[in-house]
Structure 1
Amino acid sequence: MRQISPLSRRSFTTTSAPQPVRVLLSKSTDPYLNLAIEDWLFHHGQYDKQTLYLWRNEPTVVIGRNQNPWKECDVKALERDSIHLVRRSSGGGAVYHDLGNSCFSFFSDKSSYDKNKNSLIICDALRHFNITASPNTRNDILVNDRKISGSAYRLSGKRCLHHGTLLISTHLHNLQKYLYVGNPYIKSAGVASVRSPVQNLSHYAPMLTHDLLMNAITKEFFHHYGHRCGVELLDEEEMKKIPQLSEAYENLRKWGWRFGETPSFEHKLQYTFLWGTVSIHLHSEEGRFKKVEASSEPPEVLEGLSSLLEGKAYDRHGLSEAMEMMEDRGSTVTQRRREVEEWLVREM
């Protein structure tokens, strides 16, 4: 592979004629940058070419465009363990990424878009390692009824994107640690994930690595389209110099995109402390407290909290800020409020 400038449109091939295929490989493991590159390729890529983009991320939870992070993953655990949370621009469910998980993105125009062909390219690449895989009706790729790859899609005008993940040697216990099956107390307008039994490809081919699999996918991509090209190695610093890409990168990192784009939802909570019962019904829009119905016995514990929470970020920081603004009612009530705050932080 030869490293070329991401701004260059040359193809390194055996002939001087333009090639109808393009392959890009990211050298970065920054999830915000890799997804920004994908967004840039979707909007500004060469759609006269079948394009394959290969990448992987450091530990990250990626949620779908219309998902609720508080319902899909343990947001507090992500913050505690310095795991990234990224909202992508396509649909689909929540997934966990780490360096043992590889990602692929196929770009094409609408007239040549074929997600079944894309899945076949992945399955044929796995045959290089004596792994027999096949897609199911949802276009997940399975080996022995275990999911090793999931996909999501984005279509806009004539532009089409099919992207997915491949579990090579990911830390599977982190899927259970960071991803929820679903919080029954949250009623959300967002799209819920569908959980499936999964397995690493290294279970079937212990010597398999990211580089080996990316090479095999590239070979099958060339084979299926009957053309070859040079592989563009994307340098992190060079990519950030592209204005549209840099803008997408900064937007993906913003709280307003990661949390503020959350569809409206409600969260009902109740708990009985030694001193009394607390009931709270939280309504959230755009990642903020919209309306709060709170009651407690004795009533002075939560008196005034509802109005103080409205408009604040739906997280522990917004909650703490509102609790600190409550009127002082003495040491006993203050202690009880601390207990309520600790409970809410655990449950939210």
Structure 2
Amino acid sequence: MRFVDNKEITDPRLNLAIEEHLLRNVQTEEPLLLFYINAPSVIMGRNQNSIEEIDPDFVRENNIYVVRRLSGGGAVYHDLGNLNFSFITQGKRDLHNFEKFTRPVVDVLHQLGVDAALQGKSDLFVAGKKISGNAQYAAMGRMFSHGTILFDTNLETMLRAINPRQMIIESKAVQSIRSFVTNIREHLSEDMNIVTFRQKLLLGIFGSQNIPLFTLTEADWEQIHEIAAQRYKTWEWNYGRSPAFNIQKSEQLPVGKVDARIEVEKGRIQEIKIYGDFDGRRDVAELEMRLIGLRYDRDAIQNALADTDLEPYFGALEKEALLNLLV
């Protein structure tokens, strides 16, 4: 096995692109191990509805990345206190064998005095609380098994970022199953930072001070940046792949009750109806037509309504109030 140095990159879009490049484009019989730490981000499962899994206002206001990964499973929150590991191997014979890929991590945690264990299909727990979720993906005759390790993550931010605002949503998406979680740092007999923890984990897995390296070439980095640009940095991948879903939101505003029913498919508004007891002179259907086909996100709707006077449709209604209702 060889270790892949990601050059301390914390952009989740690039780190996921490194992982995909190692899976699809690097042909080696030797297993590869990748560690990466991401800036604050919500990493979505391949089949999830992005809007259903996050608080979009909190994510936007706090500059938190939202990125969809290749593997399935639930949404996870990453920040600079979260260490991620990925084993990339030839063949698919170990697909669904999470014990094999989490065992090296568990063994090192035991050496550090942390009584971690695999519970259920793919999660690591300490003292009855979750510290790691794992997922897998296979392609091109290869596979990866990757997971998170909550070392010193801001749990309050995590819970706010992946807790959707209160709204009625009907969706075909797979919802995340949220568990009680804990940070590894709280269970260590010897305190350390995440860099030291990463090094101890690395040395423990390889069992030696001499870590065999797999060095990414300039050509590798060109392919990695291309993957990131074509997939992980695109709205179409991160939001547009969301399953079809319906939203119903109702609120008592200064102009009266406003009720919005929105159908979204592939991240775009397919149909929208606005009802209520507000007193408008013009047919609100004119406004609805302007929103059909738009991306279902705040910026797109805000731009579409930038030059629109809402008074003829609703009376004295602030655009901010309407935006807050719709998105």
- Whether the aligned pair in 1 keeps the contact of 2:272 and 2:292 (CA below 8 Å) is yes
What is the alpha-carbon distance in structure 1 between the residues aligned to residue 86 and residue 304 of structure 2?
43
Aligned counterpart, 2:302 = 320
AA in 1 matched with 2:59: L
Alpha-carbon shift at residue 204 of structure 1 (Å):
0.8
What is the alpha-carbon distance in structure 1 between the residues aligned to residue 202 and residue 300 of structure 2?
47
Matching residue within 246, 249, 252 for 1:272? 252
* Unmatched segments (≥5 aa) in structure 1: 1-20
TM-score (norm 2): 0.88
Matching residue within 112, 115, 123 for 1:132? 115
Alpha-carbon spacing, 1:214–1:25, altered in 2? closer, same or farther (3 Å): farther
- Whether the aligned pair in 1 keeps the contact of 2:12 and 2:67 (CA below 8 Å) is yes
AA in 2 matched with 1:51: L
What is the alpha-carbon distance in structure 1 between the residues aligned to residue 165 and residue 318 of structure 2?
28
Matching residue within 194, 217, 231 for 2:201? 217
Alpha-carbon spacing, 1:178–1:94, altered in 2? closer, same or farther (3 Å): same
What is the alpha-carbon distance in structure 1 between the residues aligned to residue 10 and residue 253 of structure 2?
45
Alignment of 1:276-295 (within 5 A): 276-295=256-275
AA in 2 matched with 1:259: Y
Aligned counterpart, 1:343 = 324
TM-score (norm 1): 0.83
Aligned counterpart, 1:164 = 147
1:265-286 deviations in Å (ceiling 9; x for gaps): 1101112334422221100111
Alpha-carbon shift at residue 162 of structure 1 (Å):
0.7
Alpha-carbon spacing, 1:344–1:294, altered in 2? closer, same or farther (3 Å): same
What is the alpha-carbon distance in structure 2 between the residues aligned to residue 148 and residue 272 of structure 1?
41
Alpha-carbon spacing, 1:61–1:337, altered in 2? closer, same or farther (3 Å): same
3-state secondary structure, aligned to 1:283: strand
Alpha-carbon shift at residue 260 of structure 1 (Å):
1.3
1:244 aligns with 2:244: no
Alpha-carbon shift at residue 126 of structure 1 (Å):
0.4
Alignment of 1:6-17 (within 5 A): none
Alpha-carbon shift at residue 196 of structure 1 (Å):
0.6
3-state secondary structure, aligned to 1:304: helix
- Whether the aligned pair in 2 keeps the contact of 1:68 and 1:191 (CA below 8 Å) is yes
1:157-200 deviations in Å (ceiling 9; x for gaps): 52111101001111111112211168551112222111010111
Matching residue within 21, 24, 35 for 2:4? 24
AA in 2 matched with 1:69: S
What is the alpha-carbon distance in structure 1 between the residues aligned to residue 39 and residue 228 of structure 2?
16
1:301-342 deviations in Å (ceiling 9; x for gaps): 734222111011111223223434657755x94522636514
What is the alpha-carbon distance in structure 1 between the residues aligned to residue 315 and residue 45 of structure 2?
40
What is the percent sequence identity of the aligned residues?
A: 29
Aligned counterpart, 1:144 = 127
Alpha-carbon spacing, 1:329–1:229, altered in 2? closer, same or farther (3 Å): closer
What is the alpha-carbon distance in structure 2 between the residues aligned to residue 98 and residue 154 of structure 1?
23
Alpha-carbon spacing, 1:117–1:63, altered in 2? closer, same or farther (3 Å): same
Alpha-carbon shift at residue 36 of structure 1 (Å):
0.7
1:110 aligns with 2:77: no
Aligned counterpart, 1:257 = 237
Alpha-carbon spacing, 1:323–1:217, altered in 2? closer, same or farther (3 Å): same
Aligned counterpart, 1:176 = 159
Aligned counterpart, 1:17 = none
Alpha-carbon shift at residue 209 of structure 1 (Å):
2.9
What is the alpha-carbon distance in structure 2 between the residues aligned to residue 30 and residue 239 of structure 1?
18
What is the alpha-carbon distance in structure 1 between the residues aligned to residue 195 and residue 304 of structure 2?
50
Aligned counterpart, 2:59 = 78
3-state secondary structure, aligned to 1:320: helix
- Whether the aligned pair in 1 keeps the contact of 2:85 and 2:146 (CA below 8 Å) is yes
3-state secondary structure, aligned to 2:252: strand
Alpha-carbon shift at residue 252 of structure 1 (Å):
0.7
Report the more deviating stretch, 301-310 or 162-171: 301-310
* Unmatched segments (≥5 aa) in structure 2: none
Report the more deviating stretch, 292-301 or 73-82: 292-301
Aligned counterpart, 1:94 = 75
AA in 2 matched with 1:132: D
1:34-88 deviations in Å (ceiling 9; x for gaps): 1110110111233411221111111111111111221111122111111111111
